[in-house]
Amino acid sequence: MENSVDGLPDFNPPSDFKIYPEFIGAAPREVPDSVKHGRLARSRRWSLWMLLFAGKLCIILSPFDFIATLSLYFLPLGYLFWFGLALCAIGVITYRSASSLKQALKYVTDGEVAPAQVLGMQINPTLYVNGSPTSFVIFTQVLLRSPLNQQLVVRELRSGALSSSQPSAGRPKFKVGDYVAVTWLPGEFESTLQIIDYLEIIPDACLVRENKDASPWGAIAIVATVFFFFFSLGWMIYSLGRFEPIDGVGQMGLVMLTSAVLGIAVPIIWSVLSRRRERQLAARNQEAAATGDVVIVPTAKTGLFMGLLILAGSGLIGTACVMGFAMSANALLDHGPVEDEKPVLISEMVMVTHNYIFREYKIEYHFNNDQKKRSLLTTPQHIMQFRGNHGVAKIKRGYFGWRWISDLEPALDPQLLNNRQKARR
């Protein structure tokens, strides 16, 4: 029988080639306790912890009054209790079903095992989100004897998805030229062939990963980060509509300039760091090719148009974020008295729903001596206080000196309001 194929190395597995103990013995084999400590089982528990924590958090928060208030603006919060139940149910159902774990267990109990020689390895991106790779897969070429006819065959096998922005987050323990244990289900060689390490079903057979083992605290940190992100985003939008200075944002010129510069600086710094990582990756791949380690395929570079678009968008987002939080600080840190009251004429009270998700309530008005149209983000309860189209704006100095409207009250008698204003002067 031939031990080599044209253009391929000799296939001579070492006599002391070892197979993982969990895969030794005639099928059906028993499921070992070590499976509970494998990466698949740990990931399964981590997903359960994360979904249960998110679900319980939704259920705990649902009866609070501030959630009921926020649901007037972010409509899905009105169903927070049911979302919490759904998340808990999804967590339990996915934990019980565990399709990937059950599929891997078939290899442990019924799989056939043989040695294979690694001919080549490389990590390729398989999923892009907004132009950035978010998922990678290790493609591995192996040489082995087919159980169908005992002829040498070459097959390309894929690892599970490495869900990370860094492809080096997972790498094989073996190198090019090494012999590894492969397995397949009886009668399904072509469709089920896999490297045992890529199953990650037992602790000893898995990829080398840089991230730490999953834990309940990690799940809690992720859920808390997501909640904080959306809360910050909502507060920024609210600040821009509620605390805008009445003299316009022109007096915030230095803040706007600084925030725009910071917003533009972020993608520039990111680009510089990306170029540095590309050089490091090229040097690493050169070393990996020489030592037989896995090669990481470089991701596609961002084009000039997309780069300019990202630069402009970052500047706008950076400006909006800094301005929103600066306006919040100017208003919330202002504990001084009302410095002025001005009559206003209300033109419209508006309720707008965006995509059945977001809803905003606004009072559109202008000062009696100024026809510039203005708006104030408010609440339904505040709007219900108005019976006419006259009001009075209570103006405060602002912590940074940016005058803002602390309140807008109904005024039934414009003449009385004018008299009060003259008396203050």
Average pLDDT over residues 168-195: 87
Whether 100 contacts 385, CB under 8 Å: no
Average pLDDT over residues 370-393: 87
Q: What is the pLDDT of residues 325-375, one digit of tens each?
A: 888 999 999 999 999 889 999 999 988 888 888 888 999 999 888 888 888
The confidence score (pLDDT) of residue 3 equals 42
Q: How confident is the model at residue 5 (pLDDT cuts 50, 70, 90)?
A: low
Structure tokens at 63: 């009866």
Q: Which of 55-59, 115-119, 151-155, 216-220 is least confident?
A: 216-220
Question: pLDDT band at 276, cuts 50/70/90?
Answer: confident
Q: What is the chain's mean pLDDT, rounded?
A: 81
Task: Label residue 244 by pLDDT band (50, 70, 90).
Answer: confident
Calculate mean pLDDT across residues 273-295.
76
Give whole-number Cα distances, 84 to 52, 183, 231, in Å. 8, 41, 18
Angle at 383 between CA 382 and CA 388, to 5 degrees: 120
Is the pLDDT confidence value at 261 over 80? no
Residues with Cβ < 8 Å from 7, sequence gap 6 or more? none
pTM: 0.64
Q: Residue 422 — very low, low, confident or very high, per pLDDT cuts 50/70/90? A: low
**Residue 308 burial (CB < 10 Å; 0-12/13-18/19+)?**
exposed
Six-digit token string for 298: 């470089």
Strands lying side by side in the sheet with 374-377: 374-377, 358-367, 340-354, 390-396, 404-410
Reported confidence tier of residue 58, pLDDT bands at 50, 70, 90: very high
Question: What percent of the chain has pLDDT above 70?
Answer: 81
Which percentage of the chain shows pLDDT scores above 90?
16
Q: What is the CA radius of gyration of the chain?
A: 32
| CA of residue 327 relative to chain centroid, distance | 27
Residue reference for tokens 């950076």: 318
What is the rounded average pLDDT of the residues 221-234?
Answer: 80
Angle at 413 between CA 408 and CA 418, to 5 degrees: 75
177, 292 contact by CB (below 8 A): yes
Rounded Cα distance, 17 and 364, in Å:
79
120 in Cβ contact with 141 (< 8 Å) = yes
- Whether cis (ω within 30° of 0) applies to the bond prior to 28 is yes
| Three-state secondary-structure class, residue 386 | coil
Q: Is 50 exceeded by the pLDDT of residue 418?
A: yes
Res 59: pLDDT: 94
pLDDT in tens, 144-164: 998 888 888 999 998 887 765
Helix (H) or strand (E) holding 242: helix 216-242
pLDDT category, 416, cuts 50, 70, 90? Answer: low
* Mean pLDDT (whole number) for 176-198: 90
Residue 258 reports pLDDT greater than 90: no
Strands 112-129 and 295-296, sheet pairing: parallel
> What are the φ and ψ backbone dihedral angles of 374, each rounded to 5 degrees?
-130, 165
Q: In this predicted structure, what is the pLDDT of residue 301?
A: 62
Domains of the chain with CATH codes:
21-209 (no CATH), 243-332 (no CATH), 340-424 (2.40.50)
- Residue 280: per-residue pLDDT: 78
Q: Which pLDDT value is given to residue 216? A: 63
State residue 4's pLDDT score: 43
Q: Which of 52-66, 98-112, 161-175 has the highest mean pLDDT?
A: 52-66
Is 412 within 8 Å of 344 (Cβ atoms)? no
**268 vs 252, which has greater pLDDT?**
268
Weakest mean pLDDT among 76-90, 214-228, 318-332? 214-228
Would you state the pLDDT for residue 253?
Answer: 66
Retrieve residue 123's tokens.
């990590």
pLDDT confidence of 129, banded at 50, 70, 90?
low
Q: Give pLDDT tens digits for 17-31.
A: 888 888 888 888 888
The pLDDT value recorded for residue 155 is 92
Q: What is the pLDDT of residue 2?
A: 39
Answer yes or no: is pLDDT of 75 > 60: yes
Query: Cα 176 vs. chain centroid, distance in angstroms?
Result: 34
